[in-house]
Amino acid sequence: MSSAALAVTLTQTIPLWIGVKKGLSIEKVLEGLPKDSENRSACQSVLYTAVRQRALLQKLSSDLISRAPADDVLALIELALGLLSEGKEKPFTVVNEAVAAAKHSRKMVKAANFVNAILRRFGREKTELLVKAEKQPTVRFNAPDWWIRRYEAVFGEQTPEIFALQQKHPPMTLRVNTGKTSVEEAQAKLEKAGIPAERVGKFGLILLSPRPVKDVPGFLEGEVSVQDAGSQLAAELLDAKEGMRVLDACAAPGGKTAHSLELADVDMTALEIDPKRASRITENLDRLGLKAKVTVADAGDPKKWWDGRPFERILLDAPCTASGIVRRHPDIPWSRKPEDIAKLARTQGKLLETMWPLLANNGRILYAVCSVFPEEGPRGIEAFCARHPDAKLIPIGPEGENLLSLSPAEGPETPGSVWPATHDGFFYALLEKI
Ligand SMILES: C[S@@+](CC[C@H](N)C(=O)[O-])C[C@H]1O[C@@H](n2cnc3c(N)ncnc32)[C@H](O)[C@@H]1O
């Protein structure tokens, strides 16, 4: 990033960072930046750098600042501290540009010397301040205490390893559209363009160095899409065959809808409650040259959209805490509240109950969440099966497990295995109506 651009980037990122600190999602605050803004990706990068170190920045600013300044000044200091502790930009550039950003703002000009003093003090005391801050679990794991305890309950001794993984930059994983090309051909095409990629799972490729999708050969032509390898398992597990009536009940942005259509020519209804998100399904399907009935509706209210003909396959990729995809959305632990888990588990249970009568006899419903919390996965499914003697769990795991809980993971692939070694956290259960 050029240094002059950095001052502008910091200024533009201030309101986004304030929004995230107030509990808005990264996705939501980025809506405030024009899509064609030249600085969009730079702002995004500065914002992510701050969000990935949110607890550290809170601790540093409380150690360095005795009287809280105005919100925008504090945000500017925190964003600059984020860059300084990350260490990718030259420290003098960060300090100078943060001070320039303050000087160029009518509201912050008086605080320019203050910004300068705090950032320079951080430069002098960086090592001690970071060592002291890292002693706090909330800083080490960049999550609130309650979230850390929930992870400990799920992952036990593995917790630090899972958190360490969550703090890394996520891999950029592509799904190859095998209706248009093969995984080998897509990999060779990337290699030829100087973009080496490794295989993951049955349909995936991980780019060794991520880049904007528009620069990925084959993306605009619909040969590849961006989708985590754990998420790529859904279409395969759903196993929708040619001509089947299929419902994707919570479909946006359409990754799993599209994958099912790439694997078989099915009669697909893609439901989505949020109209803005629904338009992304259509965009994705258009790019891939695929067709579905994209419907904006509440899956929980079928009388508004269902024609009464049963579906042979239903995918219920239910709204969840997203606790399995924190490395892609580092704001999640901070934007959730402890009570959200039970609330979302109730919503998931209700949606599954509503979907069940829509399923044909011998039909299958794949329940999925990108969460690692048991209330949203195994517990809800076990309770559902206890209430429904006509529901049979179909084994789906690599070792024949009925309930597939995937922890976020990264590792070398086993050659020839369809099970990816690198993926986000997911839960899957496949139920057949008997
Ligand atoms: C986990 S995301 C789905 C991701 C999608 N399956 C994919 O692979 O691209 C859940 C989606 O469900 C939508 N949603 C939430 N409640 C819904 C409801 N009652 N009816 C329909 N869609 C709903 C959300 O807006 C969100 O887009």
Which among 179, 199, 227 is the end of a domain? Answer: 227
Check whether residue 284 and residue 349 sit in a common domain: yes
Give ipTM to 2 decimals: 0.99
Q: Which two three-digit tokens encode residue 396?
A: 């789906």
Check whether residue 276 and residue 395 sit in a common domain: yes
Mean of pLDDT values over 285-290: 97
Q: Is 354 in the pocket of ligand 1 (CB under 6 A)?
A: no
Q: Residue 37 has what pLDDT? A: 72
Q: Residue 411 has what pLDDT? A: 93
In the chain, what percentage of residues exceed pLDDT 90?
Answer: 93
Which among 136, 154, 179 is the end of a domain? Answer: 136
Q: For residue 154, tell me if it sits in a domain.
A: no
Residue 273 CA to ligand 1 centre (angstroms): 7
Q: Residue 38 has what pLDDT? A: 75
Q: For residue 156, tell me if it sits in a domain.
A: no
| Ligand 1 atom at minimal distance to the Cα of residue 369 | 1
Please state which of the ranges 175-189, 379-393, 405-419 shows the lowest mean pLDDT.
Answer: 405-419
Q: Is 3 a residue whose pLDDT tops 80?
A: no
Check whether residue 282 and residue 392 sit in a common domain: yes
CA atoms within a 13 Å half-sphere pointing along the CA-CB vector of 114: 19
Q: Residue 415 has what pLDDT? A: 83
| Ligand 1 atom at minimal distance to the Cα of residue 299 | 20
CA 172 to chain centre: 12
| Ligand 1 atom at minimal distance to the Cα of residue 368 | 1
Domain holding 211: CATH number? 3.30.70.1170
Check whether residue 336 and residue 293 sit in a common domain: yes
Q: For residue 86, tell me if it sits in a domain.
A: yes
| Ligand 1 atom at minimal distance to the Cα of residue 274 | 25
List the alpha helices (DSSP H) in 289-377: 332-335, 339-355
Mean of pLDDT values over 69-90: 97
Check whether residue 116 and residue 193 sit in a common domain: no
Reported as a single tens digit per residue, the pLDDT across 21-54 is 999 999 999 988 877 777 888 999 999 999 999 9
Check whether residue 315 and residue 206 sit in a common domain: no
Check whether residue 284 and residue 350 sit in a common domain: yes
Q: For residue 239, tell me if it sits in a domain.
A: yes
Q: Residue 34 has what pLDDT? A: 77
Is 256 annotated to bind ligand? Answer: yes
Check whether residue 203 and residue 330 sit in a common domain: no
| Ligand 1 mutation target, pool 273, 276, 346, 355, most atoms within 8 A of CB | 273
Residue 183 CA to ligand 1 centre (angstroms): 28
Q: Tell me the three state secondary structure of residue 35.
A: coil
Q: For residue 326, tell me if it sits in a domain.
A: yes
Reported as a single tens digit per residue, the pLDDT across 162-180 is 999 999 889 999 999 999 9
Q: Whose CA is nearest to atom 27 of ligand 1?
A: 252
Check whether residue 74 and residue 13 sit in a common domain: yes
Average pLDDT, the chain: 96
Phi and psi dihedrals of 41, rounded to 5? -70, -30
Is 385 annotated to bind ligand? Answer: no
Q: Is 2 a residue whose pLDDT tops 60?
A: no
Check whether residue 49 and residue 107 sit in a common domain: yes
The owner of tokens 């950029």 is: 172
Q: Residue 365 has what pLDDT? A: 98
Q: Is 408 in the pocket of ligand 1 (CB under 6 A)?
A: no
Which among 192, 227, 262 is the end of a domain? Answer: 227
Cα–Cα separations (whole angstroms), residue 398 to 237, 406, 420: 12, 11, 10
| Residue in 153, 283, 275 with CA at minimum distance from that of residue 213 | 283
Q: Is 99 a residue whose pLDDT tops 60?
A: yes
Q: Is 320 a catalytic residue?
A: no
- DSSP H or E segment with residue 429: strand 426-433
Reported as a single tens digit per residue, the pLDDT across 370-389 is 999 999 999 999 999 999 99
Check whether residue 281 and residue 409 sit in a common domain: yes
pLDDT band at 1, cuts 50/70/90? low
Query: How many independent structural domains does the chain possess?
Result: 3
The domain in which residue 216 lies consists of 171-227
Q: Residue 382 has what pLDDT? A: 97
Residue 319 CA to ligand 1 centre (angstroms): 6
Is 307 annotated to bind ligand? Answer: no
| Ligand 1 mutation target, pool 227, 250, 367, most atoms within 8 A of CB | 250
